[in-house]
Every structure is written in C-alpha cells, then in structure tokens.
Amino acid sequence: MRNIKLLLQYDGTDYVGWAPQPNGVSIAQRLLEAIQATTGETPRLYVAGRTDAGVHARGQVVNFHTESRIPVDRFPYALNSRLPPDIQVVGAWEVPPDFHAQFHARRKLYSYTIDNSPFPSPLLRRYAAWEPQPLDVEAMRAAARILEGRHDFAAFRSTGGSAKTSVRTLFRLEVLELPPGPAVGRLLRIEAEGDGFLYNMVRILAGTLMEVGLGKRTLDQVREALATGRRELAGKTAPAKGLCLERVWYDE
C-alpha cells in the first residue's frame, strides 16, 4: 500500500468548502471522483486544513493510500485530466505509510486580501474583501503585534469547531501593502503564520484588524479580547472570499 501526498490549488468560490455537505459540491468530492476514475479505488482523504465555503488554497496538502502502481510523477497529470479547471494538483510525492497531512503539519500560512479602494475591482471580486473606507495600516500593524505569540485565542474563534484547546502560537501576523496593478487601487494583505488555527480564526483576526484600521476598535479592546476570551470584544468575521491557505510546513 502506497501513501501519496498531493499539493492542491483551488478557487473555492463555487464550492461548499473542503468537506462534503448536503447543500452543494465540495472540493473533497471532486478530488475523490478524480482519484476513483484514475485508480478504481475509493480511499479516505486526509487534508491539512478543512477550508470553508468560498475559501481558496494555493498550498493545500492532501494524502491518501492506494494500491495503484501509477508512477507518482504522473498523478498530477492523471488527476488534472479529470478535475475541473478551478481545482488542480500541482505536485505529488510518495511518502512514508504513517504520514498524515493534518496531524504531521507543523505550521500553516494563510493570507487575507483586502481591496481598499473607493470602488471594488471586478478582477478581485472572488478573491478579496472590499472595504471602501481608507484603512490605517500602522494602527492595524500595532494591533497585529499585540496578537503575535502564544496566547489563548478563545475570543477569535467561531462556535462549532472541535478543537480541545484554544491556545495557539502566531509566529507572524503581518499587514502588507501590495503594489497596485493597472486596474486595482490600494491592495492590502494580512499574512498569518501559526502552528494551527481555530475555526474562523484567521477571518476573525482579519475582521479585527480591519475594524482597528477603520477606527472602530481600539488597541486596548484587542488586548482585552485576548485577555478575557470574550468574542464580542473581537471584530466581525471577515468574508470568506479574501482567505487563502498559502502553505503548510512539515518536518521533512
């Protein structure tokens, strides 16, 4: 039995998220269908991060076990020929039998993109949250520095997650100004790199930083939210479309 690790990219706009749901098509469903058509098997899929509806991925990692003898370097070609254009396998490796995409992940990087222009760019409507009011980037960076480190992030998660503890380490929380393109005004990107993330944590972090940037939330409120775990002291959950899973690190 072989263990195959895949590097996956997808535009999550038209999907209900990674996991199968009764109300639509999931990323996992489409990938499993491609694997079934390629190998004749129905393996269990293990994923680094269960992205929600509308969330994108540039560096999602999946593994599955198979008896297939297809050369590992041919898997991307075989699977992509059966996948829709908004889901693609961009790498494949044969890994040790006990490798697990979720449990062996050591850190993850998510990005959150904000179109901070007076008018929303049609080119970004699937991939960025639009905020027409000018954001104070320096204030956002000051709030981000408060949130970096190892903390109890209970105030920065939504109900419904299965995590046993809300303590996580944010190695880096950075607010970047990206060079504007010819059809784009001001573009910001929040990058969150940590050892793990709670349900909706990055979107709530992004919503909190945006409210600080708008002057709707103070740095003291951010500190209080972190200290008390009170969800109402943190910001709103930012729209899913701005979020992208960029990279997952493993010991190898």
Helix residue ranges per DSSP H, the chain: 27-39, 75-80, 137-147, 201-213, 219-228
208-244 CB burial, b ≥16 within 10 A, e <16: bbbbbbbeebeeebbeebbeebeeebbbebbbbbbbb
Q: What is the DSSP letter of 153?
A: -
Of 52, 98, 195, 220, catalytic: 52
Q: Is 14 a catalytic residue?
A: no
What distances in angstroms separate CA 46 from CA 101, 102, 139, 144, one per listed residue?
6, 7, 39, 32
**How far is residue 76's CA from residue 104's CA, in Å, rounded to a whole number?**
22
User: Which residues, 6 or more positions from 34, have their beta carbon under 8 angstroms from its beta carbon?
Assistant: 79, 82, 83
The alpha carbon of 209 is separated from its chain's Cα centroid by a whole number of angstroms, namely 17
DSSP 17: B
Compute the C-alpha angle 242/248/252, nearest 5°: 170
Give residue for tokens 């408060």.
146
**233: which residues sit within 8 A by CB, 6+ positions away?**
155, 221, 222, 224, 225
- Residues 247 and 105 sit within 8 Å (Cβ to Cβ): no
Catalytic residues: 52
